[in-house]
């Protein structure tokens, strides 16, 4: 893994108009605020958070599909080109994204092989034989047998469709793959297969990957590092094992304690108070404070910055200094006693 980041986002933010206003400008909703992310080649960063926390908006900005209102995205040490520009089109084969719904991502009227091949023909028009060979190679890599190539999307199972979508994303040999809820629409049994496949191709191709999900379990399985989002902000970030073993932020603690761990009894859960977050009703101060079980008066006054709380760890909480980070080892002792 090289240390120079392939992808860097510094303080990116995005607002959207909320409905229409007859008098003057419509009020704006903050979908993402002050998000900073770095990603090295061969690394997977998981982004986890509840619905509406800004995960997909962040993903679109990281890919240049949407420009941030504030901050900057850099890819391969250069500013992300403007969407639709010649530089952006030239960059497209290196940046790919897969979404939750594989059926929506595929054209019902075209056979699978044609669809997998399409990005190659658009972006890398070699001779036909080279492109056909690449399609065969990538289909094999994702576990699709050659005879699937002549079939249409509706003739495939959910798992096969998502493999086809993955093959289509990988066919141009991208450097960066953003997966937005890639297994949420699949049956649990198929989820595990697709997750293993994603892990394998990520390792083999040294892909940099952003793995977005509301599901802690799949993020944990897929990611080297994890960023936890709440109402548009990253509230905690770190190596996946560290974050799950000893979450620092009260929100991450609640998420981790609520997630079922195979083989462990469900006890000691922190149940979050209050409504699920609504970006249209953004609280002042720390965005999490109305639901935070340990909030203090200063939490309503100002937003805590994301600061280092240990090696490779960062958290945004006014109280973090007052809540020393447990190490994985001391937590095990706590559980055992």
Ligand X SMILES: Nc1ncnc2c1ncn2[C@@H]1O[C@H](COP(=O)(O)OP(=O)(O)OP(=O)(O)O)[C@@H](O)[C@H]1O
Strands 176-180 and 208-213: parallel
Listed residue (82, 86, 88, 144) closest to 117, CA to CA: 144
The entry of ligand X, Mg ion, none near residue 31 (CB within 5 to 8 angstroms by kind) is ligand X
Nearer to Mg ion, 139 or 186 (CB): 186
The answer to the question of residue 44 lying near Mg ion (CB under 5 A) is no
Listed residue (224, 269, 280) closest to 27, CA to CA: 280
- Report the distance separating Cα 218 and Cα 309, nearest Å: 25
Min CB(278)–Mg ion separation in Å: 15
Q: Which of 56, 96, 191, 252 binds Mg ion (CB under 5 A)?
A: 56
Nearer to ligand X, 131 or 184 (CB): 184
- Report the distance separating Cα 13 and Cα 77, nearest Å: 20
Min CB(14)–ligand X separation in Å: 8
Q: What are phi and psi of 205, to 5 degrees?
A: -95, 0
The answer to the question of residue 96 lying near Mg ion (CB under 5 A) is no
Q: Residues in the site for ligand X, rule: CB under 6 A?
A: 16, 29, 31, 49, 51-57, 214, 279
Nearer to ligand X, 56 or 172 (CB): 56
- Report the distance separating Cα 101 and Cα 56, nearest Å: 14
Nearer to Mg ion, 31 or 207 (CB): 31
Min CB(53)–Mg ion separation in Å: 9
The entry of ligand X, Mg ion, none near residue 64 (CB within 5 to 8 angstroms by kind) is none
Q: What are phi and psi of 193, to 5 degrees?
A: -65, -45
- Report the distance separating Cα 298 and Cα 160, nearest Å: 51
Nearer to Mg ion, 56 or 202 (CB): 56
Nearer to ligand X, 170 or 186 (CB): 186
Nearer to Mg ion, 99 or 172 (CB): 99
Min CB(54)–Mg ion separation in Å: 8
The entry of ligand X, Mg ion, none near residue 165 (CB within 5 to 8 angstroms by kind) is none
The entry of Mg ion, ligand X, none near residue 153 (CB within 5 to 8 angstroms by kind) is none
Min CB(84)–ligand X separation in Å: 17
Token pair recorded at residue 41: 């080649």
Min CB(48)–Mg ion separation in Å: 11
User: Cα dist. 133→113, 130, 171 in Å?
Assistant: 11, 5, 11
The entry of ligand X, Mg ion, none near residue 214 (CB within 5 to 8 angstroms by kind) is ligand X
Long-range contacts of 90-94 (CB under 8 A, 24+ apart): 91/64, 92/123, 92/172, 93/119, 93/123, 93/124, 93/172, 93/173, 93/174, 94/172, 94/174, 94/175, 94/176
Nearer to ligand X, 66 or 242 (CB): 66
What three-state secondary structure class fits 129?
A: helix
Cβ-proximal residue to Mg ion, closest one: 56
Min CB(32)–ligand X separation in Å: 7
Min CB(56)–Mg ion separation in Å: 3
Token pair recorded at residue 11: 């303080």
The site for Mg ion (CB under 5 A) is made up of 56
């Amino acid at each position: 893994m090289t240390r120079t980041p392939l992808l860097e986002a510094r303080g990116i933010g995005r607002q959207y108009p909320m409905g229409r206003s007859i008098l003057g400008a419509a009020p704006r909703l903050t979908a993402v605020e002050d998000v900073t992310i770095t990603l090295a080649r061969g690394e997977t960063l998981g982004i986890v958070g509840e619905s509406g926390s800004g995960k997909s908006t962040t993903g679109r900005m990281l890919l240049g599909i949407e420009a941030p209102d504030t901050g900057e995205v850099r890819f391969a040490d250069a500013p992300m080109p403007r969407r639709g520009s010649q530089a952006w089109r030239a960059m497209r084969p290196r940046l790919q994204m897969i979404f939750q719904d594989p059926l929506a991502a595929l054209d019902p009227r075209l056979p699978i092989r044609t669809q997998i091949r399409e990005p190659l023909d658009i972006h890398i028009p070699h001779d036909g034989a080279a492109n056909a060979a690449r399609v065969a190679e990538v289909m094999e890599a994702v576990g699709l047998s050659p005879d699937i190539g002549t079939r249409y999307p509706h003739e495939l199972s959910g798992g096969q469709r998502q493999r086809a979508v993955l093959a289509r994303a990988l066919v141009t040999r991208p450097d960066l793959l953003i997966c937005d809820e890639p297994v949420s629409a699949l049956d649990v049994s198929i989820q595990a297969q697709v997750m293993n496949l994603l892990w394998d191709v990520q390792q083999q191709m040294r892909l940099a990957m952003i793995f977005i999900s509301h599901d802690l379990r799949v993020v944990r399985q897929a990611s080297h590092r994890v960023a936890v989002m709440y109402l548009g902000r990253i509230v905690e970030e770190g190596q996946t094992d560290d974050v799950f073993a000893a979450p620092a932020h009260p929100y991450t603690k609640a998420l981790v304690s609520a997630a079922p761990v195979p083989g462990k009894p469900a006890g000691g859960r922190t149940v979050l108070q209050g409504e699920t977050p609504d970006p249209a009703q953004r609280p002042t101060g720390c965005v999490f404070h109305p639901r935070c079980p340990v909030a203090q008066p200063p939490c309503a006054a100002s937003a805590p910055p994301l600061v280092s709380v240990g090696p490779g760890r960062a958290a945004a909480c006014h109280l973090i200094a007052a809540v020393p980070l447990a190490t994985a080892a001391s937590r095990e002792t706590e559980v055992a006693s």
